[in-house]
Structure 1
Amino acid sequence: MDPVIVVGAGPVGLTLALALARQEVPSVVLDETPGTDPARAARTVVLREDTAALVERLAGAPLGRAGLRWAGWWAMRRKQVTAEVAFGESEPAPLHIAQHVLTGALRAAVAREPLIELATDSRLDALEQEAAGVSARTRGPDGTWWRGSHLVGCDGPRSTVRKLQDIRFPGRTAVERYAVAALRTGLPRPEEAFLHRTPPWRTSGPFAGEITARPLPDDVWRLDWLLPPGKDLITPELLIARIRETLTGWTGESAPAYELLDTGVHTVHHRVARRWRNGRVFLAGDAAHLLGAFGTQGLDEGLRDADNLAWKLALTWHHGPHEALLDSYQSERRAVVAARLRAADQLLPVLRGGGLRSYVPGAARGHDMALIEGHLGRGALGAPGTYAGSPLAPGPFDAEAPLDTPVGAPVEDVVVTAEDGSFVPLRDRLGRGVLLAVLVAPGTGVWERRHWVSAGIMPRLAAAVTALPHPAELLVAESYPGAAPHTVLLVRPDGHLVTALSGVRPADLYSAAEAALGGTAATGAHAEAGAH
């Protein structure tokens, strides 16, 4: 069968190709560049816990040394600290990393993967699809036609794939603008990111009163100054004056030392494509959506697109067409991103527009809390999406068990005992194209698996898992937040909860698995799929 064609070799395209390879699906990545990502110290990304774990799992190496996991995050208004967060077990630290470093790590992983062909200097200029597959023509030194089973456009805001498919991309232009500088300097509370609103010193030039400082390794900081609406030109002289003014205000030194590494202007747009699927062609990442106001991270959503789509394409690639499963990609991911954009658009006039609401007692504190959600990946602005209304969600069961994780939300990364008896994070078992059945059984962690694998409800549960319409792995956890003993969680390959049941319920477990796969058409070839 033909490989999947991935257009675009940015973080989303490379992540998708690696996710497909982990499920034994070959791909061709069409890269219009010579195969390098220019080093830009001022172009960085913040990855939340789930997306950082996804990238590290696929790259096969931790990214902590390449980026920085913050020790904390805090916010100030004028001279007063309004919020402080210390990262730890209860609040996992995000990863801040330069985008070219992230892309480089993913490219290195792609180079080691025999199932991925990376075609550099290959710019897409034509696309045809029919019932049996997709053909893509590239121009460049080795311009040719490529044949694929499906094609995914991960080719950025000006997506050629989106344009060739005549898909509209409505939304708002220049929602926010920031002047950006990357510099090496010493700041108070190193390794802690912070947000400073309405600093007490006199502002100069076309700058608004909000600054974000995000640390990187080796005393490098990315500073973002919010710019007021308009198209004021930010000259180098203006930016250098603002850097000195800001560093002086933060350090109290009249001439703080710093090394300027890079500068730029970052413009935030809010757009979402009308369709994310057209037959065998899909959109993901910036080709499908643009967002990023209030500290939110568009790349996070792009990586979640790749994670959501990869297992559905893999199942279809191995077992044949399944329209309901492929349609669910757009239903799930577009709904999450659209909700994120609605939340940001509702906040924009409140946080940026001023007016009488700005003078209501307590309004400033409420505004700060709203910004915290975006910067920390919480709430409607930043938390990972929940697919509660998904077409893949099963109907309610009488035996449903209460759980702190809602149906459709990402599961917690608890320690589980795998089938080989090893203790591993639950997240390590994701992305292999199989369902996960997790039994909550307190006390099992102190015994070797061979002592309890044939005791109690385990044989019945093992038989029920073996009988599911798709390969599944049986895992055991000592505990899970909000779960009673003998609760069984069914988890999708991308880590979202399908259902939680009280005890062994073979019929309910089967029905839930069947729904999560899009219905009966996704079943079959069970023994063949075990090779995943």
Structure 2
Amino acid sequence: MDPVIVAGAGPVGLTLALALARRDVPVIVLDEAEAFADSDELRSPRTAVLGPDTVALVERLGYEGIRRDGASWSAWRTVRRRAEVLRVDFGPRDAPLHIAQHRLERGLREALLACGSVRIVAGVRVDAFEQDGPGVTVHTRGAHDTWWRGSFLVGCDGPRSTVRKLAGVRFPGRTAVDRHAVAVIRAELPEPGVALLHRDPPGAPAGQEVTGRPLPDGLWRLDWLLPPQGRLLTSDALVERLRSTLTAWCGSVVPYELVGSADYPVHQRLARRWRRGRVFLAGDAAHLMGALGAQSVEEGLRDAENLSWKLSLAWHDGASRILLNSYEAERRGAVGARLRATDQALPLLRANSAWQTVRHAVLSGSARGQAELLTDSHLGRGSVAASAVYGRSPLALPAPRSGGGKSGPSPLVAGCDTPPGGVVTDVPVTALDGTVGRLRDRLGRGLIVVLVAPGTGVWDSRHWLTAGLMPRLASAVAALPTRAELVVTETYPGATAHSVLLVRPDGRLVTAMVGCRPAELYSYADLARGGPPVPVGSDGEEPGADDGDEGGHGGGPGGAAGTRVSGHTR
């Protein structure tokens, strides 16, 4: 088959290309930039906060130095005036990592250049594409005024995505939901490694909000909430805010170096469709989210993780309509839920009156709830974290019962603290060859079947490989319709002994069962791949499918001659 074409070489495009390359899928990355800046200097205050699962994903893909290039936080503090109203301490396994975006891109690009199946084409811009049964043809202008042939096209080309516009996909939402002034400084501040959100600092107008997030090498990113429709902050006004903030935190203006600054609005937008035949959208091309600390970069990397294993399966073995459509169902649903949660929280958290019940360090239940909601929004917890579960995924529905032709949930589904479609807990596991590691480190290679078997940790693997459920379960795993690995764990939260968990390549739980029933395990594994693949040459999307209000298909599947989309975008 032809390579997968990725438009855009930001963090999302690079991660997607790297994830595909690690699965032996050839990739062409089309990058508008003429060259990549190798400088380690922080030229702009663009940064990303990544959770532990996302950091582990990037490490698995080959960027092993991400923890060195970023700063892991030891805690998060939420303060109002001079009183700490909430503190969250992090352990080594649950600490967020804060990294400058240029360092993230450099590390991903270096890992990508080590893959022989990837070609990065700089200085080109997509201006047209055509689709047909077996693939898509993309035209570029710039350094290469030519056509490129690919099996799929993924638009990772940012908020002004040309691919999205050429596909005729609307991008509705809200403009200037929030507005921030940002400064990156080098200074010695109290509690290095502790991020801080300060509401109503002493001497500041009511409702002012400033966050301080540590970076490596003594750098800090400071964000001030500004009136949405106000004038651009002047350099003098920025320095005044900076000095006032440092005084509130340190008691005086400590020595500092201003490295970079910016003034930017935050938009909330969600593309109507994330798939048009063989054309997909990911990252900022599909969604914009940044209010209340939501991180578009991390959500974009989750897009890449979700889409990469599905495109890989389609490229190697073929894919069903359900599998390819599940990308939009899962990721658009999760991002939409997070945007709705943010929209519901904004009126509460931006109203000054919500904080007026705070007196000294004593909070009413309502005010404490506001502080917790604000903290959860910045850390991706609580109601926002609920969007991390793909609750309506077509790949996580109950598998059909065997016999009788009826469908429905199995009567013997095991209890487990992780819901279907949720991210599995990173427990210690042992592979059949005796290798001991973490479940998170084995993701990305195919399905994982996890047997919960207390006591196996004290025995050599050669003893329990031939005992209990293992022989039958190993035989059942070998017969599954797609690649799978069997591992054993001593315990899993909420699961009883002899529970069997089926985990997707992106770490999402398909189901948990009791004991070994090969037919049921096969049924769930077939569900996880969306059913049998369609014949080669089909795009897997319902012909003529649309969302009802966007006009023409734009780059949807055409007949034998294909569908051509071209034009110039602003």
Query: What's the TM-score once normalised by structure 2's chain length?
Result: 0.88
1:195 CA drift (Å): 0.4
Shift of 1:321: 4.2
Query: 1:57 Cα shift?
Result: 1.2
Q: What one-letter code is carried by the residue in structure 1 that aligns with 2:71?
A: L
Q: 2:468 is matched with which residue: 438, 442, 456?
A: 456
Q: Which amino acid aligns with 1:353?
A: A
Q: Determine if contact 1:135/1:147 at 8 Å carries over to the other structure.
A: yes
Distance 2:313 2:271 in 1: 25
The one-letter amino acid of 2:499's match is T
- How far residue 120 of structure 1 moved from its aligned partner, in angstroms, is 0.8
Tell whether 2:342 aligns with 1:340. Answer: no
1:149 partnered with 2:151: yes
CA distance in 1, matches of 2:376, 2:417: 20
Name the aligned partner's letter for residue 364 of structure 1.
Answer: A
For residue 242 of structure 1, report the CA deviation from its aligned partner: 0.7
**Larger displacement relative to structure 2 (379-388 or 143-152):** 379-388
1:231 to partner: Cα distance: 3.0
Q: Measure the CA separation in 2 of the matches of 1:497 and 1:430.
A: 12
Which of 281, 297, 300 in structure 1 is aligned with 2:298? 300
Structure 1 counterpart of 2:197 = 195
Deviation larger for 359-368 or 168-177: 359-368
Which residue of 1 is the match for residue 349 of structure 2? Answer: 351
Contact 1:153 1:284 in 2 (8 A): yes
2:226 is matched by which residue type in structure 1? Answer: L
Q: Using the alignment, how far apart are the partners of 1:141 and 1:63 within structure 2?
A: 32
Read off the aligned partner of 1:263 and give its amino acid letter: S
Aligned to 2:35: 35
Once residues 483 and 263 of structure 1 are traced to their aligned partners in structure 2, the CA distance between those partners, rounded to angstroms, is 49
1:326 aligned partner? 324
Correspondence for 2:19: 19
Give the distance between the partners of 1:101 and 1:31, measured in 2 at CA. Answer: 17
Instruction: Tell me, yes or no, if structure 1 residue 236 matches structure 2 residue 235.
Output: yes
Q: Is the 8 A contact 1:49 1:95 kept in 2?
A: yes
Q: Aligned AA for 1:408?
A: G
More displaced 10-residue stretch of structure 1: 63-72 or 346-355: 346-355
Measure the CA separation in 2 of the matches of 1:358 and 1:138: 56
Contact 1:172 1:270 in 2 (8 A): yes
8 Å contact from structure 2 (residues 12, 283) kept in 1: yes
| 2:71 is equivalent to residue 72 of structure 1 | no
Q: Which amino acid aligns with 1:20?
A: L
Q: CA deviation at 1:419?
A: 2.7
User: Which residue of structure 1 lines up, in the alignment, with residue 485 of structure 2?
Assistant: 473
Partner of 1:381: 384
User: In the alignment, is the contact (CA less than 8 A) between 2:338 and 2:387 conserved in 1?
Assistant: no
8 A contact 1:375–1:382 mirrored in 2: no
Describe the SS at the equivalent of 1:97.
strand
Q: What does residue range 123-522 of structure 1 map to in structure 2 within 5 Å?
A: 123-203=125-205, 208-253=207-252, 255-354=253-352, 362-382=365-385, 385-395=388-398, 396-432=409-445, 434-521=446-533
Match among 120, 132, 136 for residue 122 of structure 2: 120
**Cα 1:212–1:106 shift into 2, 3 Å:** same
- Report the residue type matching 2:530 in the other structure: G
1:45 to 28, 44, 48: 48
Amino acid aligned to 2:20:
L
**Identity percentage over the alignment?**
57
Q: For 1:10 and 1:159, locate their aligned partners in 2 and report how far apart those are by CA, in whole Å.
A: 12
* Deviating more after overlay: 145-154 vs 476-485: 476-485
Whole-angstrom distance in 1 between the partners of 2:151 and 2:306: 18
Give the distance between the partners of 2:354 and 2:217, measured in 1 at CA: 44
Structure 2 residues without counterparts, runs of 5 or longer: 359-363, 399-408, 537-570
Q: TM-score, normalised by structure 1?
A: 0.94
Q: Quote the Cα distance in structure 2 between the aligned partners of 1:356 and 1:41.
A: 34
Secondary structure at 2:433's aligned position in 1? Answer: coil
Give the total of aligned pairs.
Answer: 518
Tell me the CA shift for residue 41 of structure 1: 4.8
Give 2:86's aligned residue.
83
**Deviation string, structure 1 residues 370-424 (Cα, Å, up to 9, x no partner):** 1111222212224661112111123121111111111110101111111321111
Aligned to 1:103: 105
Aligned-partner residue type, residue 222 of structure 2:
L
Amino acid at match of 1:388: G
Contact 1:208 1:227 in 2 (8 A): no
